Amino acid sequence: MQKDISGTEGIRPEDRARLAEAGLELDALNRCGSFFQIDQKIVHTSCMEEGIEMYPIAEALRRFSWMGEYAWNLVSRDKDDITRYVAAQEEPKGYVIIARKGSRNVMPLQACLFLEHVPIQHVHNIIIAEEGAELHLITGCASSHRTDIGAHYGVTEFYVGKNARITTTMIHKWGEQIDVFPRSAARVEEGGTFLSNYIAMSPVKHVQMYPVADLAGRGAVARFHSIVVAPAGSHLDLGSRVLLSAPETNAEIISRSITRGGTVIARSHIRGGTEETRGHIECKGLILEDGIIHAIPEIEGRVTGTELSHEAAVGKIARDEIEYLMARGLDEEEATATIIRGFLDVRIAGLPAVLQKQIDAAIDAAEQGF
Amino acid sequence: MLTIENLHVDVAGKEVLHDINLHIGEGETHVLMGPNGSGKTTLIRTIMGFSNYTVTKGRILYRGRDITNLPIHERARYGIGMMFQRPPTIAGLKLGKLLIAASGNKPELVAEYAASMHMADFLERDVNAGFSGGEIKRSEVLQLMLQQPEFVMLDEPESGVDLENIALIGSAIAKLVEKDRHIVHRHKSGLIITHTGYILDYLEADAGHMLCDGEIRCHGNPREILAVIKSKGYRECIECKKI
């Protein structure tokens, strides 16, 4: 039997299940490396992929004098109370990943941010893909089954170099009284691709985030996908913004939101600031129980050569779809669950199969509750 | 197999079907004809049990059991199947997954049957999303092949289908109602709505019914009824008040 990676042996069985739902493998069988932070303690950092390095951020800042140029460069320390809090920490926590020029990981790296006891977990992550590198990352953020109350403050800065690619898949598994405030930004150079996926299927008190990707180099691409369910009591204020700052850049923001009594604010904004740019927003919401889905797709064109579009729809499951499946022998509950599963089934181009499977598994695990 | 007695049906508060009486025996396939808006689709959707079709009087018996108030899925599980004329698109739901569900979780049959209906390349596509008219019909027949109903209702199976597809669909439908079996071994029954009668090139129907203004105006040999419609149009049927 494959052993757990070091530092994670003491995690309780109930929490292991929660971490698995957040897409994490304690045996790291399908991962090329792992970072585990429990509360403020970094218990494991490893990467076996040649050309890809992973460090706790404090070590990276000590080791590389140039790292200071990357820290707090895309996200301002003074952006808000969250960033100020993270910036004020004497000993920064979180991780740094550097994918050296031309490197590529077949199996993804995993990063686990696990909240157990502290009132506020803070992290600052920096992810760099140098020219031509391809980096796939899965981040599982979870709280312990015993954690009633707490908060997670996370700052993440992504640097996608020339012709490089970063895919990042974040799966949340928090608790009903946990506040979560990620603050992320990405800069994508010429020919680079940034692909960001966010999945949250379980209760949380409050999530608020609005990552920004600046497509700074010609031909850069950004795609954001979010798949979320808000049970009663959950407030998810989510958004993605892409700045089409260079010619031939291209962005897509796709969201699928479900409310079962909670609130989802699905924001998105694409700004076409340069010629020969394209952007599209697709924002769909399903109201299963009275709650709020507030879709705010924004497209902002500033020059004649930008083409931006959006489609948004919020509503209930169409009766004719349920009855169609019932005519095939599914009862109403099965038909409803099948349609919801389909609604959430977003195929993500360019994502390694192992990560798509992980996303599917996270949605499947929640399917019982549909 | 199916008996309909004095059936009255309301749609949106208005009576659309008036005093329908019909009997389809085991192993029989009947054809339902009539002008647009005469109530043909309403009748089969009522038999299937869709909401918005309210039975105000009369009853539907299936194999002697009163199914008038049963939910759709129970009728389906008793052996009633239906081919939709305009099925909904279900975003995200893959046809392959629906076929597995329709088959009662027999994935091993799906690939084989899909290949026989030229639908192997559609299994990973969203149900009915961007399907052409012929593809929708092939998909519907394929679902029924896997569902294996004992009583199958088909709503205009030939509409919007080219000649190549109609041969494929017609042959598959003939098998669904066991027209490929000797009459003494035939147990499955069918009710087919048709405007053109093209489907009769692929299977011999046992009886035909003409529905006008929500009433069945006549029963008879389906080819004879069709010949009258072809020569005189529906006007005579509309004016005819006699069964």
Q: In this complex, is the C-beta atom of B87 within 8 Å of any C-beta atom belonging to chain A?
A: yes
Judged against a pLDDT cut of 60, whether residue A108 lies above it is answered with yes
For residue A262, name the pLDDT band (cuts at 50, 70, 90): very high
Whether chain B has a CB inside 8 Å of the CB on A341: the answer is yes
| Mean pLDDT confidence for A329-341 | 94
Q: Is the pLDDT of residue B6 over 80?
A: yes
Confidence of residue B241 (pLDDT cuts 50, 70, 90): low
Which residues does A66 contact at the CB level (< 8 Å), separation at least 6? none
Chain A residues near residue B84 by CB distance under 8 angstroms: 324, 327
- Taking only the tens place, the pLDDT of each residue in A308-328 is 999 999 999 999 999 999 999
Q: Mean pLDDT over residues B232-242, rounded?
A: 73
For position A364, what pLDDT does the model report?
83
Give me the amino acid identity at A176. E
Å between B197 CA and nearest CA of chain A:
25
| pLDDT over 90 (residue B186) | no
Pair type for strands B54-62 and B65-66: antiparallel
Is A220's pLDDT higher than 70? yes
Give the model confidence (pLDDT) of A155-192 as tens digits.
999 999 999 999 999 999 999 999 999 999 999 999 99
What was the pLDDT predicted at B111? 93
Which residue in chain A is spatially nearest to B82 when comparing CA positions? A327
Q: What local confidence, expressed as pLDDT, does residue A2 receive?
A: 61
The per-residue pLDDT for B161 is 86
- Using an 8 Å CB-CB cutoff, list chain A residues near B71: 326, 331-332
Inform me whether the pLDDT recorded for A35 exceeds 80: yes
Quickly state the pLDDT bin for A352 (edges 50, 70, 90). confident
For residue B16, give how far its alpha carbon lies from the nearest alpha carbon of chain A (Å): 20
> Residue A266's pLDDT band (boundaries 50, 70, 90)?
very high
Superfamily of structural domain B29-44+79-239: P-loop containing nucleotide triphosphate hydrolases (3.40.50.300)
CB pair distance less than 8 Å for A335 and B143: no
Does B147 score more than 80 pLDDT? Answer: yes
pLDDT value for A368: 65
Give contacts of A370 with chain B, Cβ < 8 Å: none
Which whole number is the average pLDDT over A75-86? 97
Mean pLDDT, range B52-80, rounded to an integer: 96
pLDDT tens-digit series, residues B121-145: 999 999 999 999 999 999 999 999 9
Q: In angstroms, rounded to a whole number, what is the distance separating the alpha carbons of residues A293 and A192?
A: 33
Chain B nearest C-alpha distance from A36 (Å)? 34
Whether the pLDDT of residue B146 is over 80: the answer is yes
**Chain A contact present for B126, CB below 8 A:** yes
pLDDT of residue B242: 57
Q: Is the pLDDT of residue B243 over 80?
A: no
Model pLDDT, residue B164 = 81
Q: Residue A1 pLDDT > 70, yes or no?
A: no
Higher pLDDT, A224 or A6: A224
**Mean of all residue pLDDT scores within chain B:** 92
What is the SS3 assignment for chain A? CCCCCCCCCCCCHHHHHHHHHCCCCCCCCCCCEEEEEECCEEEEEEECCCCEEEEEHHHHHHHCHHHHHCCCCCCCCCCCHHHHHHHCCCCCCCEEEEECCCCECCCCEEEEEEECCCCEEEEEEEEEECCCCEEEEEEEEEECCCCCCEEEEEEEEEEECCCCEEEEEEEEECCCCEEEEEEEEEEECCCCEEEEEEEECCCCCEEEECCEEEECCCCCEEEEEEEEEEECCCEEEEEEEEEECCCCCEEEEEEEEEEEECEEEEEEEEEECCCCEEEEEEEEEEEEECCEEEEEEEEEECCCCEEEEEEEEEECCCHHHHHHHHCCCCCHHHHHHHHHHHHHCCCCCCCCHHHHHHHHHHHHHHHCCC
- Any A CB within 8 A of B125 CB: no
Tell me if A341 and B92 make a contact (CB, 8 A cut-off).
yes
**Which positions in chain B touch A341 (Cβ < 8 Å)?**
92-93
pLDDT at A215: 98
Q: Which residue of A has its CA nearest to B78?
A: A329
Q: Which of B82, B92, B93 sits opposite A327 (nearest CB)?
A: B82
Contact A330 B73 (CB under 8 A): yes
> Which whole number is the average pLDDT over B71-100?
95
Which residue in B51, B92, B147 is closest to A323 by CB distance? B51
Question: Which of A330, A345, A346 has its CB closest to that of B101?
Answer: A330
Which chain B positions have a beta carbon within 8 Å of A344's beta carbon?
Answer: 92
Most confidently modeled range among A198-202, A352-356, B198-202: A198-202
Ordered by start, the domain boundaries in chain B are 29-44+79-239
Residue B232 binned pLDDT confidence (cut-offs 50, 70, 90): confident
What pLDDT does residue A369 have? 62
